[in-house]
């Protein structure tokens, strides 16, 4: 299949071009920061040499220092000497935090619960993709349910305590991994159904898909174990300050709790702080991306060969699915990769602020993917839309009959009968899982 290879290559090249563009954007700031650091180091060594060789008296360095101090204050009066306040990021967080996230939350909740309700009550005969889609909807729903709590706690110095901290951070991680890996499973199932059609009867059984779903959920939980274990609810040590006020010593204890990493020793800290985002980038993004690119390029190739009137629509849907995945997740993962690679390097406040702001915005775009999944995967399908219409019709009828309470018991049994009959009817034409 040479043509599928070409398509795969094109998509890969596009992906690489996107990431290269991302790196070029960052290279400028990186070079700046590297030069900056070198000059800083030489300056500090010079300064320390000076001060240590000429005794430790104040007079030896005070004239030079006062001059330097003035320069420093003139150039950077907001973030004083390396303690960054992240003004830009903070203003973005103040908007995105409550407003954009609540929109994502509401849309995701409506879309995914409709998918779950439709699958739970209406679509009786399920294909492998249906089971995967049901699980994706559950993962996205749990993710969207945890989101407002995480946002609320981060805005209010984490008032919900230790258990909520571990649970929310952990479930965030589990749902992220399971959701994205299940999307890769859907692409594999469609690949088997369309490209490997001869083998599909043997490979596409429902018990297989249930086992695969279970494996993916267990895998997602296992990958999230470090998150469960190392996230902690505590007051960071640097929020407690020892102050001297005119010969009066006082310790200012603030109650600014955070839910962040906390470690017993330095080596684990270094390892886990790099390992957790690296796993997220590789397993949570590049693995599903490569599986999807391989499967969908083979599918497009097969569809283009086939003589079918619906093929153009199918190709379009596949392209949109892949494009949306890349648009939502690639920018965030590039920034995350850059941030992870340069994790322990010193940064100027402007660069750190810009990077945090980029992460905040791009992460929100990545979150949007879980609102788009119901539309991209479920509502695109004709069968699913038919089932979905039935729900509304039945709900409408139920609502009308509900007004007269005398007939309630008969109505419910009627409703149940009709729904089961309809789903039986629907089963006849739901042979293909790749419904469009």
Partner 1 sequence: MLPIKAVVVIALTVCLTASTFAAYPHCCRRYMIGRLQDSIIKGYSVQTDTEMCRINAIIFHTKKGKACADPALKWVMDAVDRIRNKAQKIHQRSSQGRKKKTI
Kindly identify the residues of this chain, within the stretch 90-109, that bind partner 1 according to CB under 8 A: 90, 94, 97-99, 102, 105-106, 109
Give the residue, chosen from 12, 47, 317, 376, that forms a contact with partner 1 under the rule CB under 8 A: 47
What burial class does residue 272 get, using C-beta atoms within 10 Å of its C-beta: 0-12 exposed, 13-18 middle, 19+ buried?
middle
**Residues 250 and 243 sit within 8 Å (Cβ to Cβ):** yes
Q: By CB under 8 A, which span of 14-22, 72-80, 201-209, 319-327 interacts with partner 1? A: 72-80
**Smaller CB separation from partner 1, 64 or 202:** 64
Task: Choose, by CB under 8 A, the member of 28, 55, 81, 403 that binds partner 1.
Answer: 81
35 sits near partner 1 (criterion: CB under 8 A): no
Closer of 346 and 420 to partner 1 (Cβ): 346
Query: Which structure tokens are listed for 249?
Result: 């010593």
Q: Encode burial over 55-93: b for 16+ CB neighbours within 10 A, e otherwise.
A: eeeeeebeeeeeeeeeeeeeeeeebeeeebebeebeebb
Check residue 72 for interaction with partner 1 (CB under 8 A): yes
For residue 361, what are the β-bridge partners? none
Q: How far apart are CA 260 and CA 264, in angstroms?
A: 14
81 conformational bin, left if phi > 0, alpha if psi -120 to 50, beta if neither: left
Considering beta carbons, is residue 70 or 282 the nearer one to partner 1? 70
**What is the three-class DSSP state of 382?**
helix
Stretch that binds partner 1, among 58-66, 182-190, 205-213, 320-328 (CB under 8 A): 58-66
Cα 324 to its chain centre, rounded Å, is 13
Q: Exactly one of 1, 229, 236, 412 binds partner 1 (CB under 8 A); which one? A: 236
The closest alpha carbon to 144, from 376, 370, 325, belongs to 370
Separation CA 176–CA 285 (nearest Å):
10
Q: Which of residues 306-345 bind partner 1 (CB under 8 A)?
A: 343-344
| 78: DSSP letter | S
Distance between CA atoms of residues 146 and 152, nearest Å: 10
- For residues 281 to 300, the per-residue mask of contacts with partner 1, x marking binding by CB under 8 A and - elsewhere, is --------------------
Which residue's CB is nearer to partner 1, number 207 or number 245? Answer: 245
Give 58 or 207: the residue with its C-beta nearer to partner 1.
58
Question: Which one-letter DSSP state was computed for residue 60?
Answer: G
Q: How far is the CB of 258 from partner 1 (least distance, A)?
A: 6
For partner 1 (CB under 8 A), the number of binding residues is 76
Given phi > 0 = left and psi -120 to 50 = alpha, else beta, which region is 176? Answer: alpha
Question: By three-state DSSP, how is residue 54 classified?
Answer: coil
We find the least distance from the C-beta atom of residue 192 to partner 1, in angstroms, to be 35
Cβ closest to partner 1, residue 82 vs residue 431:
82
Return the number of the residue (33 or 224) whose C-beta is nearest partner 1: 33
C-beta of 406: minimal distance to partner 1 in Å? Answer: 25
Do residues 223 and 283 lie in contact, with contact meaning Cβ atoms separated by under 8 Å?
Answer: yes
Please identify, among the stretches 24-32, 186-194, 263-271, 367-375, the one whose residues bind partner 1 according to the rule CB under 8 A.
Answer: 263-271
Residue 65 engages partner 1 in binding (rule: CB under 8 A): yes
Select the residue interacting with partner 1 from 9, 16, 34, 44 (CB under 8 A): 44
Contacting residue, 13, 27, 38, 68, with partner 1 by CB under 8 A: 68
Binding mask 351-380 for partner 1 (x = CB under 8 A): -x----------------------------
Angstrom CA distances, 102 to 152, 156, 325, 349, stand at 11, 16, 21, 30
Binding map of partner 1 across residues 112-131, x = CB under 8 A, - = no contact? -x------------------
Q: Which is nearer to partner 1, 12 or 269 (CB)?
A: 269
């Amino acid at each position: 299949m040479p043509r599928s290879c070409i398509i795969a290559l094109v998509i890969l090249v596009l992906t690489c071009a996107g990431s290269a563009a991302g790196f070029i954007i960052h290279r400028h700031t990186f070079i700046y920061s590297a030069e900056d650091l070198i000059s800083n180091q030489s300056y500090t060594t010079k300064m320390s040499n000076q001060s240590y060789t000429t005794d430790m008296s104040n007079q030896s360095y005070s004239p030079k220092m006062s001059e330097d101090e003035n320069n420093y204050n003139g150039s950077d009066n907001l973030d004083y000497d390396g303690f960054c306040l992240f003004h830009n990021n903070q203003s973005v967080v103040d908007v995105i935090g409550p407003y954009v996230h609540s929109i994502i939350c509401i849309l995701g909740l409506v879309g995914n619960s409709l998918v779950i309700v439709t699958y739970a009550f209406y679509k009786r005969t399920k294909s492998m993709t249906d089971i995967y889609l049901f699980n994706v909807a559950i993962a996205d729903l749990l993710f969207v349910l945890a989101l407002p709590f995480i946002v609320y706690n981060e805005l209010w110095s984490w008032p919900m305590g230790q258990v909520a901290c571990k649970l929310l951070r952990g479930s965030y991680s589990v749902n992220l991994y399971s959701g994205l890996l299940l999307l890769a499973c859907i692409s594999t199932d469609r690949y088997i159904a369309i490209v490997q059609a001869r083998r599909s009867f043997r490979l596409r059984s429902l018990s297989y898909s249930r086992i695969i779903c279970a494996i993916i959920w267990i895998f997602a939980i296992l990958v999230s174990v470090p998150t469960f274990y190392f996230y902690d609810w505590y007051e960071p040590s640097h929020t407690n300050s020892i102050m001297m006020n005119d010969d009066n010593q006082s310790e200012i204890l603030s109650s600014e709790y955070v839910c962040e990493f906390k470690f017993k020793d330095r080596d684990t800290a270094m390892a886990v702080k790099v390992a957790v985002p690296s796993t997220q980038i590789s397993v949570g993004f590049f693995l599903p991306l490569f599986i999807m690119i391989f499967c969908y390029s083979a599918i497009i190739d097969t569809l283009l060969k086939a003589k079918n009137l619906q093929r153009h629509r199918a190709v379009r849907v596949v392209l949109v699915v892949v494009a949306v995945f890349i648009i939502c997740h690639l920018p965030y993962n590039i920034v995350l990769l850059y941030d992870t690679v340069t994790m322990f390097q010193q940064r100027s406040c402007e660069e750190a602020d810009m990077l945090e702001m980029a992460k905040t915005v791009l992460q929100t775009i990545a979150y949007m993917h879980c609102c788009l999944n119901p539309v991209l995967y479920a509502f695109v399908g004709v069968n699913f839309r038919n089932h979905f219409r039935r729900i509304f019709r039945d709900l409408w009828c139920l609502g009308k009959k509900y007004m007269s309470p005398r007939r309630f018991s008969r109505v419910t049994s009627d409703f149940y009968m009709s729904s089961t009959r309809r789903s039986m009817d629907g089963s006849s034409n739901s042979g293909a899982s790749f419904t469009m």
